[in-house]
Amino acid sequence: MVGAGLAGARTVLELRRQGFDGWIGLVGAEPVPPYDRPPLSKHLLDRPAPAWLSDELDADALAAADRVWLGTHATGVRVDRDGVRVRVDGPDAAAGAELTADALVVATGSAPVNPWPAARVLHTAADAEALRTALAAARRLVIVGAGWIGAEVATVAAAAGVEVIVLEALAGPLPVLGAVGELTRAWWRDAGVDLRTGVRVASVDATGVTLTDGERVDADLVLAAVGARPATGWLDGAVTRDPDGSIRVDEHLAPIAAGTVPAEEPTGHRAATRSRVRVVGDAARRRSARHGWVAGGHWDAALRGPAVAVAGLLGSPAPEDPAPYVFSTQFGHELALYGDPGRGDDLVLRGDPATDDGWAALWFEPGNDRLTAVFTVDRPRDVAAARRLFTGESLPELDRTAAADPAVPLRSALRG
């Protein structure tokens, strides 16, 4: 088991829950036990201690494993029909030491993108600790990127009285939502955050940011919140990866490409070799019958994927096809996104974003009434309904007019 974050911890616990009584070794690069990441931004200033997963999941993955190496990196792997060999490097393992096993679960998550060494990032508990300390002495914070994490940090920093400037290269905030992100712009303004969109950062230094048009934006502190990429470099040469580092997996979370198989291995053994590997959490790009390719990067997949991966490894495949799901808390609003909004999809609003009553946005495939995604703002009932809508084998079809009426329950808009 390589990676001791949410997906890694959940996999170890699932192995035991599903009756595996063999040996489990857990390798994790961070020197601390598994903890939950979403509170790092939402509770950056009011909850300094990590939210340990042993508390959150009410079970201790470290105790469930036979051997745990924390502060230890996997640096390479070889998989063949005889088993798996993982090279590790850490305080309790000589550099280049090899662990052998019958199967490998990859749960190494993602690493933040940071093109500017002078900027900070927020990905680990150690990053949060350092950012908290720096913020205590800062008057002016520049955040590069108006995505989920940029918005959440802007929320807490502005509420603490820090002057916050957010620089976003694309046209509006929460760019993953396309035009709908623009509907959240007033929240930033009302919170006193100076959100500047359509601006590009050229460089970052100790005193601020220089934009590509030469403008200077001074700051005591700069946070890069411009996304993350799967941390799968250690698998290079052994497992086929997409250009962004993600590993394509099937419904059972087994790698699809034959890159896991050494070239000299006879064709007949390839399936057996590949089935020794599972990829869970942020590192995986999952094939979904309903949504097409689903990238990692979201908590829910790291929570739920391990049950599927373990069932497959133990010989009782139980494919599950959950909808992609993201949640966020920002500027006093509870947000949820189910599904995957396509760029050319039709947009239908449900409720009025200018009021405080809560609203939702729905995306439909152009030319038909198949729903591809639902985004909700302060509408817990729609969150529950959206989860249920995306459980069939294909995308649900909705009556667009009924779905646009916030007084009509979403499930009543379902066709057929």
Ligand X SMILES: Cc1cc2nc3c(=O)[nH]c(=O)nc-3n(C[C@H](O)[C@H](O)[C@H](O)COP(=O)(O)OP(=O)(O)OC[C@H]3O[C@@H](n4cnc5c(N)ncnc54)[C@H](O)[C@@H]3O)c2cc1C
Q: Which of 38, 83, 227, 342 binds ligand X (CB under 6 A)?
A: 38
CB of 228 to ligand X, least distance (A): 7
Q: Which of 103, 149, 156, 238 binds ligand X (CB under 6 A)?
A: 149
Q: Does 282 bind ligand X (CB under 6 A)?
A: yes
Range 256-275, binding ligand X (CB under 6 A):
none
The residue among 283, 289, 279 whose CA lies nearest residue 256 is 279
Q: Does 249 bind ligand X (CB under 6 A)?
A: no
Q: Which of 20, 30, 116, 185 binds ligand X (CB under 6 A)?
A: 30
Range 156-185, binding ligand X (CB under 6 A):
none
Using DSSP's 3-state secondary structure scheme, residue 404 falls into: helix
Q: What angle do CA 314, 275, 103 make, to 5 degrees?
A: 65
Using DSSP's 3-state secondary structure scheme, residue 57 falls into: coil
Range 301-340, binding ligand X (CB under 6 A):
302, 326-328
First-to-last C-alpha distance (Å) of the chain: 44
Task: Enumerate residues 6+ apart whose C-beta is below 8 A from 226.
Answer: 113, 114, 115, 144, 145, 147
C-beta closer to ligand X: residue 259 or 281: 281
The residue among 207, 192, 206 whose CA lies nearest residue 160 is 192
C-beta closer to ligand X: residue 5 or 259: 5
Q: What angle do CA 286, 287, 291 make, to 5 degrees?
A: 105
- Rounded Cα distance between 321 and 387, Å, is 12
Sheet of 333-339: strand order equals: 325-330, 333-339, 371-377, 359-364, 346-350
Range 360-399, binding ligand X (CB under 6 A):
none
Range 10-29, binding ligand X (CB under 6 A):
27-29
Q: What angle do CA 78, 79, 81 make, to 5 degrees?
A: 140
Q: Which stretch binds ligand X (CB under 6 A): 32-40, 192-200, 213-221, 249-257?
A: 32-40
C-beta closer to ligand X: residue 155 or 328: 328
CB of 41 to ligand X, least distance (A): 4
CB of 163 to ligand X, least distance (A): 22
C-beta closer to ligand X: residue 193 or 247: 247
Number of residues engaging ligand X in binding (CB under 6 A) = 36
Q: State the angle between helix axes of 299-313 and 6-17 in degrees (0 to 180), rounded to the nearest 10.
A: 40
φ/ψ of 325, rounded to 5, equals: -145, 125
Task: Enumerate residues 6+ apart whose C-beta is below 8 A from 149.
Answer: 41, 122, 225
C-beta closer to ligand X: residue 108 or 155: 108
For residue 237, give the H/E element and its range.
none
Q: Does 131 bind ligand X (CB under 6 A)?
A: no
Q: Which of 172, 245, 255, 281 binds ligand X (CB under 6 A)?
A: 281
C-beta closer to ligand X: residue 37 or 248: 37
CB of 345 to ligand X, least distance (A): 21
Range 80-119, binding ligand X (CB under 6 A):
107-110
- Rounded Cα distance between 204 and 343, Å, is 31
Q: Provide the binding-site residues for ligand X, judged by CB under 6 A.
A: 2-8, 27-30, 37-38, 40-41, 73-74, 107-110, 122-123, 149, 231, 234, 281-282, 297-300, 302, 326-328
